[in-house]
Structure 1
Amino acid sequence: MASELCDGGLDEQLIPRQIPPRQASTVASFASSVFNVTHAIMGSGILGLAFAMANTGIIGFSVLLLIVAFLAAYSVHLLLELCQQTALTSYEDLGFCAFKTTGKVMVAVAILIQNIGAMSSYLFIIKSELPAAIAGFLHNNHNGTPWYLNGQILLVIIVICVVLPLALLRKIEFLGYTSGLSILFMVYFTTVVIVKKWFIPCPLFNDTVGCVQNFSSDECKPKFFQVSYKSAYAIPTMAFSFLCHTSVLPIYCELQRPSKSKMQKVVNIGITLSFSVYMLSALFGYLTFYGKVESQLLHTYSQYLPHDTLIMSVRLCLLFSVLLTVPLIHFPARKSLMLLLFSNRSFSCIHHIVVTLAIQILIVLLAIYVPNLQNIFGVVGSTTSAALLFIYPGLFYLKISREPLKSLNKLGALGLIILGFLMGVVSLVLIIINWLHSTASLV
């Protein structure tokens, strides 16, 4: 069907096509669809936004976050328009419709890299937060680092014992029910960040070592505009945080009495809710630690409040959520890799196991050797997130839609491509320059 539509089957008048009928058991209500879109948006990116605000300023960050949120909603609008015009219901099929096999491979590669980046960021959180969680309950001073407080050892154990067995399953629908816990954690995390703002003074007093940290009075004042080499990480982190496009079309297919306008409302509400949570957590996280905030916000709290009950509870919720989310993200990543390597072959248990092991080994190595989350957010956000969020929706719309080139949507699609390309290239170049500068300073 996709081939017929893409080879001249579209009517000149762009008559809307019906989404293929679904099984009754897959029909989702408006509220549950909003819930699913919000879950698809909110993830580990929330931990890097306070760092982004520290390096762009409150007003600069707010404007950039608003722009990225608006562009995310508009790019979904273009995808939904194409979905309505072609009756295609997956990102990969739209890629095939636009550029045949090349387009499908482009989308599959971007999804694979994006999901590997997301899984690596989650494993990085496990590596950095699980030892702190264990140490927080022990309240003991250790000579050296025992194995159960070594993040790398714990990470390997967790992946082998929990993540890998779940990832090896062919179907993992039951983990979808944990999405509610993930959203609940994000709201709880934001609430704790807001509350803790009023209990952590500046300059920070570290009870562990009994001394005032090296803060000047100027460092305790918020900056409204800030530009530095670290500002290059801001937009990629935001793009990473708002990417939900690979999930929108499947959710659209399951929506009760689906229509483009109805699904656009679902997406707009999901993006608005996510924007609100992101903005509050970034603002109060920044106003707590100012320029001392780290690329992983929760780690900053752990540094100054190692035995705080609320922080420990948030850490445990985060770890539980991350633990069940990694195998869930693994499934579309494996699907994309299988599509690239074995698209014309039937299912093979050997291929299934080998691909699963390869992905797990890669994300573990990335989590171990990448020094901080900002590098994951920066590289993935400036490349695949920019492509999936900005470039591909605009590119596919220009290629597939029969609207006049001067129509509002096609001009908007062209602007989305240019803006996404510029954001991605400039951010990636600045990030590479920052790496080179950091490496040179260590020599």
Structure 2
Amino acid sequence: MARETAMELQDPKMNGVLPSDAVGYRQEREGFLPSRGPAPGSKPVQFMDFEGKTSFGMSVFNLSNAIMGSGILGLAYAMAHTGVIFFLALLLCIALLSSYSIHLLLTCAGIAGYLGYTSGLSLTCMLFFLVSVIYKKFQLGCAIGRNETAMESEAPVGLPSQGLNSSCEAQMFTVDSQMSYTVPIMAFAFVCHPEVLPIYTELCRPSKRRMQAVANVSIGAMFCMYGLTATFGYLTFYSSVKAEMLHMYSQKDPLILCVRLAVLLAVTLTVPVVLFPIRRALQQLLFPGKAFSWPRHVAIALILLVLVNVLVICVPTIRDIFGVIGSTSAPSLIFILPSIFYLRIVPSEVEPFLSWPKIQALCFGVLGVLFMAVSLGFMFANWATGQSRMSGH
């Protein structure tokens, strides 16, 4: 918190406003993204007023913690409506696109300040979740008895236990009406972009290449965790899997109760990583130029937490949360905004508008707009035709 307070009081010229001319841009870029050592006898150029102390490994933990969240619970549902191979291909595409969008952000990066040190514990909780999902797959197999899942109450009294799965065959490629939720769920699971630059500020020996390596390792690790979680969750329940996978297991199973607690702890520990940049952005937007104030600092945090909790309580299904946020906020943060920042901030003297990097960034932004329009269109169509089924929180 003290470090964040210090950053609130820093010189206004360090707030990420790049000069318009190319020479100034190169000087700013060289200071923020050093690519070579200082000249003999000269003072090293720093991109901020204090040097980061966080190691490469801890930065990977922090960014992985920012990526990982409740989206992991819906990945098995996404696999059930795309098939194993198609899901893994889509997940890999989203991971690669997320890495490219972080590259755009680092290229035109400004300044932001904070970070906690709870990420290692949060990742441990999610690893416990993954190991438990794998264990339950081998324990339950395919034939799931009457008392094994939370769905047991839906079976008519007196009928023999037939399990939940109409088929125990894994589908490699699947297309159905619920597929419109799958890519938004994946995109939601990879959102971490508001936290990239604050994590950069704490990185020891910061450079663009070093931070990009942090991002690549973090995204790669989360891709493996997501892929394993979705695969073993899907192979446990197949087409019966729900958007919130933990609802499929017995509510009386001690292991599942521990897993629920671990997931709750992991998501709770992610809140500071996400809350700090949002709060800082609101303070910059609503109270520019004003001195730091603890009452205002705390009030903004409380208001944000209350609003989030009210929305979670009011929205009927977690699948709708994944779908709506994954179709709106996720493409904005992953595709649209990084490309706009790159096109707007990098001056034409350095990168002409028709240069290949800017054409790539433009196509990247257009892809995000198309993704948002198509995803929302399919979801609205599902709601209008009544094809989407309700699933609990």
**Aligned residue identity for 1:391:** I
CA distance in 1, matches of 2:209, 2:344: 23
Q: Is the 8 A contact 2:72 2:189 kept in 1?
A: yes
Q: 1:441 to 1:277 in 2, by over 3 A?
A: closer
1:344 shift after superposition: 4.9
Q: Deviations over 1:331-352 (max 9, x none)?
A: 4333334444333544556655
Q: Identify the range of structure 1 (244-253 vs 421-430) with the bigger mean alpha-carbon deviation.
A: 244-253
Is 1:18–2:40 an aligned residue pair? no
> SS of 1:177's equivalent?
coil
> SS of 1:60's equivalent?
helix
CA distance in 1, matches of 2:100, 2:388: 41
Task: Pick the aligned partner of 1:279 from 227, 235, 243.
Answer: 227
- Residue 222 of structure 1: aligned partner: 170
- Residue 191 of structure 1: aligned partner: 131
1:211 shift after superposition: 4.4
1:362 shift after superposition: 2.4
- Residue 212 of structure 1: aligned partner: 161
**Aligned residue identity for 1:51:** Y
**Aligned residue identity for 2:101:** S
1:439 shift after superposition: 8.6
Is 1:396–2:345 an aligned residue pair? no
1:283 shift after superposition: 0.6
1:397 shift after superposition: 1.0
1:436 shift after superposition: 2.4
Q: Is the 8 A contact 1:58 1:223 kept in 2?
A: yes
Task: Pick the aligned partner of 1:39 from 58, 62, 65.
Answer: 65
Task: Pick the aligned partner of 2:78 from 35, 52, 55.
Answer: 52
Q: 1:438 to 1:338 in 2, by over 3 A?
A: farther
- Residue 415 of structure 1: aligned partner: 363
1:236 shift after superposition: 1.4
After superposition, where does 1:239-250 map in structure 2 within 5 Å? 239-250=187-198
Q: Deviations over 1:399-431 (max 9, x none)?
A: 222312333321220121011111111111211
**Aligned residue identity for 2:31:** Q
**Aligned residue identity for 2:50:** Q
Task: Pick the aligned partner of 2:89 from 49, 60, 63.
Answer: 63
Q: Unaligned regions of 5+ residues in structure 2, if any?
A: 1-12, 33-46, 153-158
Q: Is the 8 A contact 1:49 1:238 kept in 2?
A: yes
- Residue 160 of structure 1: aligned partner: none
Give the structure-2-normalised TM-score: 0.80
- Residue 10 of structure 2: aligned partner: none
Q: Deviations over 1:40-66 (max 9, x none)?
A: 111111111111111111111111101
Q: 1:423 to 1:7 in 2, by over 3 A?
A: same
CA distance in 1, matches of 2:388, 2:185: 25
1:358 shift after superposition: 3.7
Is 1:78–2:104 an aligned residue pair? yes
Q: Is the 8 A contact 1:53 1:234 kept in 2?
A: yes
> SS of 1:53's equivalent?
helix
CA distance in 2, matches of 1:66, 1:276: 10
Q: Is the 8 A contact 1:22 1:253 kept in 2?
A: no
1:259 shift after superposition: 1.7
Is 1:259–2:259 an aligned residue pair? no
CA distance in 1, matches of 2:190, 2:240: 25
Q: 1:355 to 1:265 in 2, by over 3 A?
A: closer
Q: 1:59 to 1:4 in 2, by over 3 A?
A: closer
CA distance in 1, matches of 2:389, 2:74: 24
1:435 shift after superposition: 2.1
> SS of 1:307's equivalent?
coil
1:253 shift after superposition: 2.2
Q: 1:383 to 1:33 in 2, by over 3 A?
A: same
- Residue 56 of structure 2: aligned partner: 30
- Residue 106 of structure 1: aligned partner: none
CA distance in 2, matches of 1:44, 1:7: 40
Q: Deviations over 1:288-329 (max 9, x none)?
A: 00111111111212xxx2222322221121223334444654
CA distance in 1, matches of 2:363, 2:16: 29
1:213 shift after superposition: 4.1
Q: Identify the range of structure 1 (351-360 vs 177-186) with the bigger mean alpha-carbon deviation.
A: 351-360
Q: Is the 8 A contact 1:197 1:288 kept in 2?
A: yes
After superposition, where does 1:427-442 map in structure 2 within 5 Å? 427-438=375-386
**Aligned residue identity for 1:46:** I
Is 1:309–2:254 an aligned residue pair? yes
CA distance in 2, matches of 1:325, 1:13: 34
Is 1:387–2:370 an aligned residue pair? no
Task: Pick the aligned partner of 2:288 from 343, 349, 358.
Answer: 343
Q: 1:178 to 1:227 in 2, by over 3 A?
A: same
Q: Is the 8 A contact 2:328 2:372 kept in 1?
A: yes
Q: Is the 8 A contact 2:142 2:165 kept in 1?
A: no
Q: 1:221 to 1:37 in 2, by over 3 A?
A: same
CA distance in 1, matches of 2:289, 2:276: 19
Q: Is the 8 A contact 1:38 1:271 kept in 2?
A: yes
> SS of 1:390's equivalent?
helix
Q: Deviations over 1:198-242 (max 9, x none)?
A: 11132321236694246565x211111112221111111111111
Q: Is the 8 A contact 1:37 1:251 kept in 2?
A: yes
**Aligned residue identity for 1:191:** V
